Amino acid sequence: MSDRPLLVLDLQIVLPRRGIYNVRPGETVQHAALRIARDGSVVDHLTGCWIWGGLVNRRGYSKITIGGYASTLGRHILGLVKGDSLVMRHHCDVPRCVNPDHLARGTTLENSQDCVERGRQWNSNKTHCPKGHPYNDGNVVLEKNGPGSVSRKCRICLRANSRAWYADPEKRARNFANRRAARAVRRGVERAV
């Protein structure tokens, strides 16, 4: 992202149920978004949040359309553009808040860490597996899903699944046949290339 603000001429910002705002000549999108946030919000004097009064997306964040593209108002207040690797973080944990003092730029990792620290990450709040076994120190296996991704598995359920698999010869035969077929397909693709 460049350090210079994005200047836009003849751009319209569409706010459903509120009308169309025109970006003033020489005004940056960031300043226009801030003006819209002030005009379309109600201030909660206890928390200092500017509660957005317009439409919200399914996750509860402010929804606006700028230049034909739907986005959240907070991203434009922070000057984040489409394709930017940074995300919008809320210090107040209120999705409808568009107060620039409560918003910050950050990485996806920082945003995820905020969720876990504040108890909003839904998987970290689970205390039992889907079968009802407790997630405690002796019953948890951490399984790596990919780069930077780890999930919890119930040790009791893993053992039960393993026993069921070894006890059923048809299941094992199907699994081995599927593996052989997949290997053959990969070899055939590799030879053709």
Instruction: For residue range 34-80, list pLDDT tens digits in order.
Output: 888 888 888 999 999 999 988 888 888 988 877 777 788 888 888 87
Angle at CA of residue 129, ends 124 and 132, nearest 5°:
135
**78 and 105 Cβ atoms separated by less than 8 Å:** yes
Instruction: Give the N- to C-terminal CA distance of the chain in Å, as an integer.
Output: 40
CA distances from 89 to 30, 67, 95, 107, 143 (A): 17, 24, 10, 9, 28
Beta bridge partners of 50: 43
- CATH number for the domain running over 12-120: 3.90.75
DSSP 8-class letter at 7: B
Residues 127, 112 contacting (CB under 8 angstroms): no
Three-state secondary structure call for residue 100: helix
pLDDT at position 11 is 54
Which tens digit of pLDDT belongs to each residue from 137-174? 888 888 887 666 778 889 999 999 888 877 888 877 88
Neighbouring CB atoms inside 10 A of 14's CB total: 14
Taking each helix axis from N to C terminus, what angle separates 169-192 and 155-167, rounded to the nearest 10 degrees? 90
Which residue type, as a one-letter code, is found at position 82? Answer: K
pTM of model > 0.85: no
Domain extents in the chain? 12-120, 126-193
Whether residue 3 has pLDDT greater than 80: no
What letter would DSSP give residue 24?
A: P
Q: What angle do CA 35, 36, 37 make, to 5 degrees?
A: 90
Phi, psi of 36 (to 5 degrees): -65, -40
Q: pLDDT of 94-139, one tens digit each?
A: 889 999 999 998 888 888 888 878 877 777 778 888 999 998 888 8
> Two tokens at 8?
């836009």
- Cα→Cα distances 169→88, 108, 154, 180, Å: 52, 45, 24, 16
